[in-house]
Structure 1
Amino acid sequence: MRIVTRLIAMNRARLLGRQLREIERQVHNLPKRTRARLGTMALREIGQASRCDFPHLYGTPPEERYLAWGQGTDIGLARARSDNAEVAMRGIALWLAVAYHETKNTPHENIRPHHRDLMRLLRELKEQHRADPMQEWGVQATAAA
């Protein structure tokens, strides 16, 4: 049984790595202002997922809750490929949230590097959100009022 579990985990790690590279490309192709918004959306999605009973199954239809891995990453990636910019951003945020929870405390050695890469991408989004000049303008405008 351990061999089967390892094979499934290896296949999942390979799939997550491929999806992560595509998500990274899409994130880096976004304009800076959009990346700042994406950081906020991803943080919100991660928070919503953490309130679920099984955060790694966030976005998975209820009838498929008994799978080893949910379909949130697949759904998020499909939406991220959309021509509609808003749908694509929401898909990227969903993918980031589900992948974060799926890789966070994984016992599988070959999935852990993906968590580090994912954390690096989330840190980049967080830094760009902090550097957003419109955010500072909003804070200054409310302070002046």
Structure 2
Amino acid sequence: MQIVTRLIAITRARQLQRQFQQIERSISPLPARVRSRLGLMTLREIGQASKCEFPHLYSTAPEHRYMPWGQGTEIGFARSKSDNPEVALRGIALWLAVAYHETKDSQYASLQPQHRQLLRVLRELRDAGSEQADATAEWMRSGAAA
């Protein structure tokens, strides 16, 4: 049984890695202001997922609760490909939040690199938000705001 469980974990790690590469390619060209919004959206999604009984199953239908993993990453990934920029941002935020909770306390070594990559992206989004706030504060202190 342990072999099957490990095989499932390895398969999931590969799937998350492929999706993560696409998500990261979607994030990289975003301007700083949009990255800041994405960081806030992602933080809100992570908080909403934390309130659930099983955060890694956030946005998964109740009848699918007993699957090896939830549907949140699939939903978020599909939305991230949308032509509508707002839907795409919300999809990216959902994917990041669910993947974060799914990999956070994983006992499988194959999922730990994905968690570290997610933390790096979340840190970059957080820093983009703080840089945006610093620039706004600096502008407000200058004579341009008067």
Q: Same fold (TM over 0.5)?
A: yes
Q: Deviations over 1:62-108 (max 9, x none)?
A: 21111121010000000000000000000000000000000000011
Structure 2 match to 1:101? 101
Identity of aligned residues (%): 60
SS of the residue 1:82 aligns to: coil
Counterpart AA for 1:55? P
Q: How far apart are the structure 1 equivalents of 2:120 and 2:67? A: 28
1:44 corresponds to 2:39: no
Do the aligned partners of residues 48 and 64 (structure 1) sit closer, same or farther apart at CA in structure 2, a change above 3 Å counting? same
Structure 2 match to 1:76? 76
Structure 2 match to 1:4? 4
Counterpart AA for 1:41? M
TM-score (norm 1): 0.92
TM-score (norm 2): 0.91
Shift of 1:134: 8.0
Instruction: Spell out the pairing of 1:20-31 with structure 2 (5 A cutoff).
Output: 20-31=20-31
Q: Deviations over 1:36-61 (max 9, x none)?
A: 10000000000000000000000111
Do the aligned partners of residues 59 and 120 (structure 1) sit closer, same or farther apart at CA in structure 2, a change above 3 Å counting? same
Structure 2 match to 1:131? 131
Q: How far apart are the structure 1 equivalents of 2:12 and 2:135? A: 38
SS of the residue 1:67 aligns to: coil
1:89 corresponds to 2:89: yes
Structure 2 match to 1:116? 116
Structure 2, unmatched stretches of 5+, are: 142-146
Shift of 1:136: 3.3
Q: How far apart are the structure 1 equivalents of 2:76 and 2:107? A: 24
Q: How far apart are the structure 2 equivalents of 1:106 and 1:34? A: 31
Counterpart AA for 2:76? G
Larger mean CA deviation between 99-108 and 27-36 belongs to 27-36
SS of the residue 1:95 aligns to: helix
Shift of 1:32: 1.4
Aligned pairs, number: 141
SS of the residue 1:131 aligns to: helix
Counterpart AA for 1:76? G
Counterpart AA for 1:69? W
SS of the residue 1:60 aligns to: coil
Q: How far apart are the structure 1 equivalents of 2:95 and 2:49? A: 11
